[in-house]
Structure 1
């Protein structure tokens, strides 16, 4: 009898373990895994409240970006993936902005507004497909944990290709914003002069918990499932870093942008990022767009967004060019 009971108990425990294992895998596939079909598929424009009134403008921006000639660029990631980007050149030797799109987004959709601002004000742009998106390699997205290392790879590529005399701004929307913020404490090339983060979240844990809470799931359980699935199947620790800790160590000024009608990444996260940077003495500016839905602050107020970004980037870039030229003149004088 004892053996029968023990056998039943072991079978029950194994059944539970199998259910948990496959449950974790299902969560991993749903949240972090992008199939090749999904990667190469069309990413539609967002719809619903806050977006419908901007449909025509969004489509015009995307269509414009599709028409502009670009150079295809590929680099190797730290873990040997091929990363893909589009280089849009306005003028040889012009300052450069490297732009990163959001979670399961598309580069020419998410960055269309910011790219237009940069191009029309004389900046070259490098618009990248994040890992597990578009034409970049991999199938696992990691909420910025590995993507921040990809950001470093792109920054080093830009420094090598365009030279240290070319100032670089890192910019991103949503997960792209979290990516550039989480890269802020890495050893970026000295010609990276600033960061623009539009509606970024504070950490992978914070955004996963927030989404779980918004959908009325137990947020602690949701986070455990996503975090554990990521470790088991994606080989990544989502708790290993976050934008809050990284922004405190930024050596460059940061511009934070957020719409106060954002239903995906709450505006309080940018406020928390601002407070963390300010407490650490990092030059930081926070601009909130009234009525702005997730990722479309640009369309909420085009003139203000344009002026804001140009004021932030042009000053930093001009100062870097002037200082870099001065250093070179000084070096030549010593020879």
Structure 2
């Protein structure tokens, strides 16, 4: 009788844990992946930046510059039927060089004007940027964290080559989630027109990022929440947290990559970029910025940032 009783208690406890886990899985999917209003990052100390960076991000003259440019809207239908919105700005002087800029989580194409102004005014590049699926004016009811976006960027590249001609040279430059997206794209069959990638503050995989944030923000272990959340994500958005891996993709790439990360970044651990760099199949370089938090190095240490970037691009952009 005691044995049967303990079996019933065990089954009851397992059932309760299973129900809690299922509820938690849908909760975290809704929190991080489903397209909706998100305020859970408000007040997150890991996203604090210096006063200097905040002032530039919110009130920098790049915003006025961006608004005054005559970007050409370009619409594309994704492989799975979503209408995606892109924007193209032709350089002042004819050039075959184009930068494709990829924004971060909850951002939009216009956010990349901070970098676009430099590429346009100082390097003389054409600029292309787009709202990732689930962001801005692009369709999509979920955030892909770079995984499905990698295929979107492959299609955007093909469109740009068709638009600009076979001699066009392209650099992909992404920040945070955008950096992960272009790294994920690097492992795809991209045309030889893609000469280089700049990845600023990327994560190694969605699963690893979520595991880190689950512990940091909620003090919860990855198991069993993330495997079940991954199941829900696959069911609702068509990808798993484990397959969405920039690390796996850079092991296959032949495109040169410059990695950039701040040593004070506690939102995406610096160790992730180091792991990506150490496992990159192609030519790669890495630069770390002391005292820089997540995605702020371009503002707080711009001279060093652009010096390294220009040197890297000069080497690979003919």
Residue 214 of structure 1: aligned partner: 216
Distance in 2, matches of 1:276 and 1:10, equals: 44
Distance in 2, matches of 1:126 and 1:192, equals: 13
Cα distance 1:84–1:259, how it changes in 2: closer, same or farther (>3 A)?
same
Instruction: Determine helix, strand or coil for the equivalent of 1:265.
Output: coil
Cα distance 1:174–1:49, how it changes in 2: closer, same or farther (>3 A)?
closer
- More moved, 180-189 vs 232-241: 232-241
Residue 235 of structure 1: aligned partner: 238
Cα distance 1:124–1:21, how it changes in 2: closer, same or farther (>3 A)?
same
Residue 6 of structure 2: aligned partner: none
CA drift of 1:87 comes to: 1.0
- More moved, 180-189 vs 302-311: 302-311
- More moved, 228-237 vs 253-262: 228-237
Residue 105 of structure 1: aligned partner: 107
Please state if 1:261 is matched with 2:260. no
RMSD, aligned α-carbons: 2.8
Residue 328 of structure 1: aligned partner: none
Residue 325 of structure 1: aligned partner: none
Please state if 1:57 is matched with 2:77. no
Unpaired runs of at least 5, structure 2: 1-9
Instruction: Determine helix, strand or coil for the equivalent of 2:258.
Output: strand
Distance in 2, matches of 1:292 and 1:16, equals: 41
Distance in 2, matches of 1:15 and 1:214, equals: 25
TM-score by length of 2: 0.86
CA drift of 1:225 comes to: 3.9
Instruction: Determine helix, strand or coil for the equivalent of 1:136.
Output: coil
Cα distance 1:50–1:14, how it changes in 2: closer, same or farther (>3 A)?
closer
CA deviation vs aligned residue, 1:5-47 (integer Å, no higher than 9, x gap):
xxxx999999887665444322211110113x67xxxx99x99
- More moved, 9-18 vs 187-196: 9-18
Distance in 2, matches of 1:271 and 1:144, equals: 19
CA drift of 1:162 comes to: 0.8
Runs of 4+ in 1 over 3 A off after TM superposition: 9-23, 46-49, 91-94
Instruction: Determine helix, strand or coil for the equivalent of 1:116.
Output: helix
CA drift of 1:246 comes to: 1.0
Counterpart contact for 2:180–2:203, Cα < 8 Å: yes
Cα distance 1:20–1:262, how it changes in 2: closer, same or farther (>3 A)?
closer
Distance in 2, matches of 1:243 and 1:310, equals: 24
Residue 177 of structure 1: aligned partner: 179
Distance in 1, matches of 2:185 and 2:104, equals: 15
Distance in 1, matches of 2:294 and 2:257, equals: 19
Please state if 1:78 is matched with 2:79. yes
Equivalent residue runs for 1:1-335 within 5 Å = 21-35=22-36, 49-58=48-57, 59-60=59-60, 61-90=62-91, 91-109=93-111, 111-120=112-121, 121-215=123-217, 216-277=219-280, 280=281, 282-318=282-318
Counterpart contact for 2:204–2:276, Cα < 8 Å: yes
Distance in 1, matches of 2:244 and 2:104, equals: 18
Cα distance 1:264–1:48, how it changes in 2: closer, same or farther (>3 A)?
closer
Question: How many residues are aligned here?
Answer: 303
CA deviation vs aligned residue, 1:210-265 (integer Å, no higher than 9, x gap):
11121222222342243122022222222224111211211111000001111211
- More moved, 226-235 vs 181-190: 226-235
Distance in 1, matches of 2:15 and 2:288, equals: 52
Counterpart contact for 2:259–2:287, Cα < 8 Å: yes
TM-score by length of 1: 0.82
CA deviation vs aligned residue, 1:44-80 (integer Å, no higher than 9, x gap):
9x99743323222222133332222211111111111
